[in-house]
A and B are shown apart, each in its own frame.
Chain A
Amino acid sequence: MSPLAPAPRSVDGGTPMQRDPATTVYERSEEGRRAATLPDAGVPERPLEELIPKKLLRERPAELPEISEPEIVRHYNRISRRNFDLDTGFYPLGSCTMKHNPRLNERVAALPGHARLHPAQESKRAQGALELMWLLQRSLSEICGLPHVSLQPSAGSHGELAGLLLTRAYHSDRGETRTKVLTPDTAHGTNPATVTMAGYEVVKLETNERGGIEIDDLRAKANGDTACLMLTNPNTLGLFDENISEIAKIVHEAGGTLYYDGANLNAIMGHTRPGDMGFDIVHVNLHKSFSQPHGGGGPGAGPIAVSDRIEPYLPRPQVIRREAQNGGEPRFDLDFERPKSIGRLRGFQGNFGVFVRSYAYILSLGGDGLQEASETAVLNANYLLARLGEGSAGKYTPIAFDRRCMHEFVLSGAPAKRELGVQTLDIAKRLLDYGMHPPTVYFPLLVDEALMVEPTETETRETLDAFAEAIEAILAEAAEDPGIAKGAPYTTPVRRLDEAAAARKPVVRQPRA
């Protein structure tokens, strides 16, 4: 392999992308231009004010763009190129599982039988959709090791909220009032945010030197006021907590539920299951382990798998299968008769288009392929960790917890900051000049100058090597001149942006002309 070419260190007149100023679709508008031609009403028409009283009507139309179709296409194509994306390059964001998004899944999701099906269609005329949901439920149940699944939540956070509302309903049904939810200090921000939305108070748990839950701290804090412990395993440090069975025992003896944040499921599919670890409620991020494209910030889905004792409280409606009475085909249906249900958390049945893609992915990989995916994810992460343990990287961005990792790992850039004068932020920005997306930075909060790296299983070894080499090159460069990284990036469509100004005087829409 040829050595990595050094990245540009300054801006000479700017790249073509940089010279192309950001112009909004409104600024490309010209009065009178349009794209759509609509059909004629085709019915006898009356003045609008006869149909709807004038005082309820708009006085002037919404100021939408006035632009032709070719210009719309050109506009969005051009700005799309100001994005770095997974199809183009390496994207090792921790706990995001940026694995390849198969296009087969897009093709099947677009089949009219799925895509043009109305959510309120009678169940008997939506049997294909309901069966698909049921089969997906069954697959997730098997992968998680818990018997009952609801596909309703639309993202991980939504699943977390569902999990805590289920917890609340469970305790309430037993006549108990509990006010606290335990989360480790390594928890993803959505966990404590969800705790507050669900009407609970956060109690933080300490992390021990192995990166797991400090058991004595858990024993001290788990009591009759503990509603739930929210955890992910492996955790956001990429480390498997070997004490998980003990943790489950302590929480269950205290009477609380155990919630699993499925963001890191990619490490363990086919190797172990959260249900077997003792978790009562698990959410799965279909846009992580199950290949739903991230879309620049969604859509995703956050289905939940629960144990028998939590099942009565599942959201309404549930997709069920009814055995045929007289030897015919089983029928699938939406079950609304759920007297103890927490109710619904959104309209209709959930992000069905995401279910189609995830189910296609599960069919494509199969049980064997899912197991292999996790295996390769863990292999890739450990390999990359080994490569980054060498040379300057090992010295200036060492591993935060010196243990074998699973599918991701966390480095600390504290030595680089101290000795070279470059922060994790600067390393990340300089990586952009190497055509790679940086890892997650400054999370988990526990680690100083954190870099959280998750390569995923769909990356080749050469890509991992190239990343390690880029980090080496950046650190070597910083040893000579830290100013270069501090001024990076140089080659991206824009360079470092003034976020303080954006927050001080927010401009969140195009001003009216």
Chain B
Amino acid sequence: MTRYTSATDRDRREMLEAIGVTSIDELFEDIPEDLRLKGPLDLPDGKPETEVYDRLSELASRNTDAESETSFLGAGMYDHYVPAIVDAITSRSEFLTPYTPYQPEISQGGLQVMFEFQTAMSELTGLPVSNAALYEGPSAVASAAYLAIGATGRKKLVASRGVHPHSRESLISYGAGYGTELVEVPLTDGVTDATALAEAIDDETAAVFLQQPNFLGAVEDMEALGATAKQRGALVVVACDPIALSILRPPGECGADVAVGEGQPLGNRLDYGGPSFGFFCATEEHIRRMPGRIAGETTDVDGRRGFVLTLQTREQHIRREKATHNICTAQALNALGGMVHLAWLGKRGFAELGELLAQRTAYARERLSAVDGVELLHDAPVVREFAIKLEAPVGQVLDLCADEGVGAGYPLGREYSEYENGLLVAITERRSKADIDRLAEVLGRAVADLRGAQVAEGVA
């Protein structure tokens, strides 16, 4: 079965002749005989397009996605509405199929998109410099640690437990290579314990990691929390939800040195966790330590305005072992999706979206806390996500809700043993008042059914 190639027998014959060999096998002669595969790969033969489609369709049908259930799952990725023009623009050949813009003269489209995207992220975070995107949120947090240890020469990292568990885990994993140690600071009443944070920071601390809103959805007082870090010469890194930045005071105005985060809510589908993009913004001081691609404005020989990849000497293809990061392929197409989404929302629409979410989330929190057997985990201000605790085993509650077509939320217990029957509930503009009312109803019923009953794990 040939796919996407065009070499006919005649082509092959003539090409082999031009090369000066008699068989294609001769072209593989440099591979030692004992390493040559003697038979075909143990994989099924190629299939026609219609069968491939059917197979993939069948696999898709066995997933409960946000079209099949009313989903309140969040924890860093959210079921936002991605406008149709995002699909139209990101599926254009000119954006979908080129490589990284190493020849700027014929990559002005991609480079300009990067420039516009960098501007947008700078606006959202309140920091002057942005790169053209990293892979996603938690690894962007780990990348911020690399910048911090380079900038300060220190090896200790301090993170609030309000920072996403995946981000904290990434800091530990990457830390094995960086030679860093991570100290975690507990939450009190749903927000970072300021006293414990101050105690954890010392003169060996390279960076302090905070999240806004934090993993439990709570809005934190970034400026106050970051103050101790600054006194001790540590960098303040804030991981933030880009949608929440529509109404919250941006990290750049609260003393952050670096702001990073998960960009999925902007113009990207859930896609079971990826691809999306991570954003990375910093103060001017750190521009030469930034990871990843950065597009810059300039002019050509005739004076035309144009864009190029700039400060490339930071990057792996030039700086090699001294590069600010090893990243090469990033998430350019996903960043384009984010930019188009932000342009579509626009200055007013973006702010309106944030307010809409805050109102519906406040309503959801009120309705759920009124449900028997449900209590708020904290009453700190929230934007679009909040945490509750149930008087019933969370796993089984979720199953009962799922049976009724509702994905009630993200169970907190596995990553926060201190919140064993905790549940994180996320609201997007796709969750209407009616959906929220339904959640309250279904959740209420499930909790009532399971509450107090001595039900062991795993028993139907």
* Direct interface between A and B, CB < 8 A: yes
Q: Judging by beta carbons under 8 Å apart, are B304 and A370 in contact? A: no
Can you list 24 A-B contacts with CB-CB less than 8 angstroms, sorted by A residue number? A33-B346, A58-B247, A72-B343, A77-B89, A80-B94, A113-B65, A115-B270, A115-B271, A118-B270, A154-B274, A165-B174, A168-B177, A271-B37, A296-B107, A299-B277, A299-B332, A299-B334, A342-B173, A347-B167, A368-B1, A378-B28, A406-B27, A437-B103, A497-B105
Distance of A95 from chain B, by nearest CB (Å): 11
A369 with B3, Cβ < 8 A, contacts A155-B135, A375-B24, A437-B103 known: yes
What per-residue 1/0 map shows which CB atoms of B105-122 lie under 8 Å from chain A? 111111011011011101
| Stretch in contact with the other chain, from B228-236, B310-318, B438-446 | B310-318
Q: Judging by beta carbons under 8 Å apart, are B332 and A298 in contact? A: yes
Q: Judging by beta carbons under 8 Å apart, are B30 and A240 in contact? A: yes
| Stretch in contact with the other chain, from B195-203, B290-298, B449-457 | B290-298
Q: List chain B residues, Cβ under 8 A from A293.
A: 96-97, 333
Q: Judging by beta carbons under 8 Å apart, are B323 and A196 in contact? A: yes
A73 with B112, Cβ < 8 A, contacts A108-B53, A197-B325, A508-B296 known: no
Q: Judging by beta carbons under 8 Å apart, are B52 and A108 in contact? A: yes
Residue of A with least CB distance to B31 = A272
Residue of B65, B275, B432 near A353 (CB, 8 A) is B275
CB-contacts of A61-119 with B (<8 A): 61-67, 69, 72-73, 75-77, 79-88, 91, 93, 96, 98-102, 104, 106-119
Q: Judging by beta carbons under 8 Å apart, are A83 and B176 in contact? A: no
Q: Judging by beta carbons under 8 Å apart, are B116 and A85 in contact? A: no
Q: Judging by beta carbons under 8 Å apart, are A58 and B355 in contact? A: no
Q: List chain A residues, Cβ under 8 A from B460.
A: none
CB-contacts of A167-215 with B (<8 A): 168-169, 188-190, 192-199, 202
What per-residue 1/0 map shows which CB atoms of A429-440 lie under 8 Å from chain B? 100100001101
Residue of B137, B311, B328 near A503 (CB, 8 A) is B311
Q: List chain B residues, Cβ under 8 A from A495.
A: 105, 300-302, 304
Residue of B21, B43, B91 near A367 (CB, 8 A) is B43
What is the bound-complex CA distance between A219 and B353, given in angstroms? 63
The verdict on B419 contacting chain A, using a C-beta distance below 8 Å, is no
Q: List chain A residues, Cβ under 8 A from B64.
A: 117, 121, 125-126
Residue of A with least CB distance to B106 = A84
A38 with B429, Cβ < 8 A, contacts A387-B18, A492-B106, A506-B310 known: yes
Residue of B with least CB distance to A362 = B43
Q: Judging by beta carbons under 8 Å apart, are B304 and A296 in contact? A: no
Q: List chain A residues, Cβ under 8 A from B330.
A: 155, 297-299
Q: Which 5 A-B pairs have the closest CB atoms?
A: A113-B60, A295-B333, A119-B273, A366-B46, A348-B273
In this complex, the interface size class of chain B, counting residues with CB under 8 Å from chain A, is 35 or more
What per-residue 1/0 map shows which CB atoms of B70-108 lie under 8 Å from chain A? 010101110100010101110111111111111111111
Distance of A310 from chain B, by nearest CB (Å): 15
Q: Judging by beta carbons under 8 Å apart, are A64 and B342 in contact? A: yes
The verdict on B265 contacting chain A, using a C-beta distance below 8 Å, is no
Q: Judging by beta carbons under 8 Å apart, are A296 and B98 in contact? A: yes
The verdict on A499 contacting chain B, using a C-beta distance below 8 Å, is yes
Q: List chain B residues, Cβ under 8 A from A129.
A: 59, 63, 272
Residue of A63, A244, A378 near B347 (CB, 8 A) is A63
Count of interface residues, chain A, beta-carbon cutoff 8 Å: 209
Q: Judging by beta carbons under 8 Å apart, are A85 and B98 in contact? A: yes
The verdict on B209 contacting chain A, using a C-beta distance below 8 Å, is no
Q: Judging by beta carbons under 8 Å apart, are B41 and A367 in contact? A: yes
**With A108-B52, A155-B328 given, can you name 19 additional A-B contacts, CB distance below 8 Å?**
A38-B429, A42-B432, A53-B381, A65-B343, A69-B85, A80-B89, A83-B95, A84-B107, A101-B96, A113-B57, A126-B64, A155-B135, A346-B135, A347-B167, A347-B273, A352-B272, A382-B27, A492-B105, A508-B297
Residue of A38, A99, A501 near B352 (CB, 8 A) is A38
Residue of B15, B21, B173 near A165 (CB, 8 A) is B173
Q: List chain A residues, Cβ under 8 A from B274.
A: 119, 154, 299, 346, 348-354
Q: List chain B residues, Cβ under 8 A from A498.
A: 298-301
What per-residue 1/0 map shows which CB atoms of A486-505 lie under 8 Å from chain B? 01010011111111011100
The verdict on A386 contacting chain B, using a C-beta distance below 8 Å, is yes
Residue of A with least CB distance to B332 = A297
Q: Judging by beta carbons under 8 Å apart, are A245 and B35 in contact? A: yes
Q: List chain B residues, Cβ under 8 A from A12.
A: none
| Stretch in contact with the other chain, from A412-420, A455-463, A474-482 | A455-463
A458 with B329, Cβ < 8 A, contacts A101-B97, A495-B304 known: no
A294 with B100, Cβ < 8 A, contacts A497-B298, A509-B130 known: yes
CB-contacts of A378-412 with B (<8 A): 378-380, 382-383, 385-387, 403-404, 406
| Stretch in contact with the other chain, from A1-9, A20-28, A252-260, A320-328 | A20-28
Q: Judging by beta carbons under 8 Å apart, are B350 and A64 in contact? A: yes
Q: Judging by beta carbons under 8 Å apart, are B112 and A22 in contact? A: yes
A343 with B172, Cβ < 8 A, contacts A115-B271, A117-B270, A494-B304 known: yes
The verdict on A220 contacting chain B, using a C-beta distance below 8 Å, is no
The verdict on A160 contacting chain B, using a C-beta distance below 8 Å, is yes
A98 with B1, Cβ < 8 A, contacts A56-B381, A293-B333, A343-B173 known: no
CB-contacts of A150-172 with B (<8 A): 154-158, 160-161, 164-165, 168-169
Q: Judging by beta carbons under 8 Å apart, are B98 and A457 in contact? A: no
A104 with B348, Cβ < 8 A, contacts A143-B41, A507-B296 known: no
Q: List chain B residues, Cβ under 8 A from A371.
A: 40-41
Distance of A487 from chain B, by nearest CB (Å): 8
Q: Judging by beta carbons under 8 Å apart, are B41 and A81 in contact? A: no
